[in-house]
Amino acid sequence: MTMFNEARMGRLGDLTAATDLVDDVAASVMRNQGALINLVRLKQADDYTYLHSVAVCAMMIALARQLGLPDQEVRDCGMAGLLHDLGKVAIPPEILNKPGKLTDEEFQQVKRHPVAGFEALAGWQDVPDIARDVCLHHHERYDGKGYPHGLKGEQISQHARMGAVCDVYDAITSNRPYKEGWCPADSLRRMAEWTKEGHFDPVLFAAFVKCMGIYPVGTLLRLKSSRLGVVVDNSKSLLKPIVKVFFSAKSMGYIPPVEVDLSIPGSTEAIVAREEASAWGFGDTSHYWANM
């Protein structure tokens, strides 16, 4: 937080604390894939840019590991995720948090943040080249319709293409003043559609889906038995995760929480549909999976 506040005041930052944070996030992801989801989803509306950056840091590390990149490159990807939105400190908060639609002039100010961040990092010592590149190019699109330079396909570095996927996923799953976040599974479905339209590198998006799971941790599901539950582990199977059921749609009442492993051979349980917690009046369901 100090690093972001220093940048906001126009002062150069000390990367020591940031490096320690990246190391901690990397260690957490390596110990437990569920830690990634905890970082991504346990966020507050306040200090969004900072928390968004920590989440993208975690996802960049996980995606880099999924791709089999060398350890130092994985670490540099984490630093890139942490610093990718640094340029947003130059955007007035009333624009960043505006509840309504941005004017053309306001949107142009927002679109300047990659360059602003890149210029800020130019004066920082020991910043990996990967971090500078991702900061500048994480809003480029695979079809060439992004910004600030309209790069296309392989003109965009692999790291920046990774950053684009991680940045968008966290943004659309987050609650903001102007919109409610989408559920993880629905977010991946929509991103798959955008990939077909040319937004993301299809190979890297496929790796990201494998990394996060078809049904990410925290997704609310309705099972064949008419029980509802949240995904608590998808490491064994992308299509058949472990679900903690806690509600019966038949009796319309809560039941004692119990884990159901859908990947067990011969299981008669199956996923019927994804559900929205708000539609069932559940509110926050994170306590069912946050401590897994």
pLDDT tens across 102-155, in order?
899 999 999 999 999 999 888 777 788 999 999 999 999 999 999 999 999 999
Which pLDDT does position 42 carry in this prediction? 47
Per residue in 200-218, pLDDT tens? 999 999 999 888 877 888 8
Confidence of residue 36 (pLDDT cuts 50, 70, 90): low
- Bridge partner list, 227: 248
Residues in CB range of 107: below 8 A, 6 or more apart: none
Which pLDDT does position 64 carry in this prediction? 94
- Percent of all residues in the chain with a pLDDT value above 90, rounded to a whole number: 46
Which pLDDT does position 112 carry in this prediction? 94
Return the half-sphere exposure (C-beta side, CA atoms, 13 A cut-off) of residue 66.
Answer: 21
Instruction: Report the 10 Å Cβ neighbour count for 94.
Output: 8
- Among 206, 161, 201, smallest CA distance to 188 is for 206
Return the half-sphere exposure (C-beta side, CA atoms, 13 A cut-off) of residue 31.
Answer: 8
SS3 sequence of 54-92: HHHHHHHHHHHHHCCCCHHHHHHHHHHHHHCCHHHHHCC
Which pLDDT does position 100 carry in this prediction? 82
- Percent of all residues in the chain with a pLDDT value above 70, rounded to a whole number: 86
Amino acid letter for position 140: E
Structure tokens at 221: 């599901």
Tell me what the mean pLDDT of segment 171-198 comes to. 85
- Among 68, 63, 74, smallest CA distance to 212 is for 63
Confidence of residue 45 (pLDDT cuts 50, 70, 90): very low
Q: Is 266 left (phi over 0), alpha (psi -120 to 50) or beta?
A: left
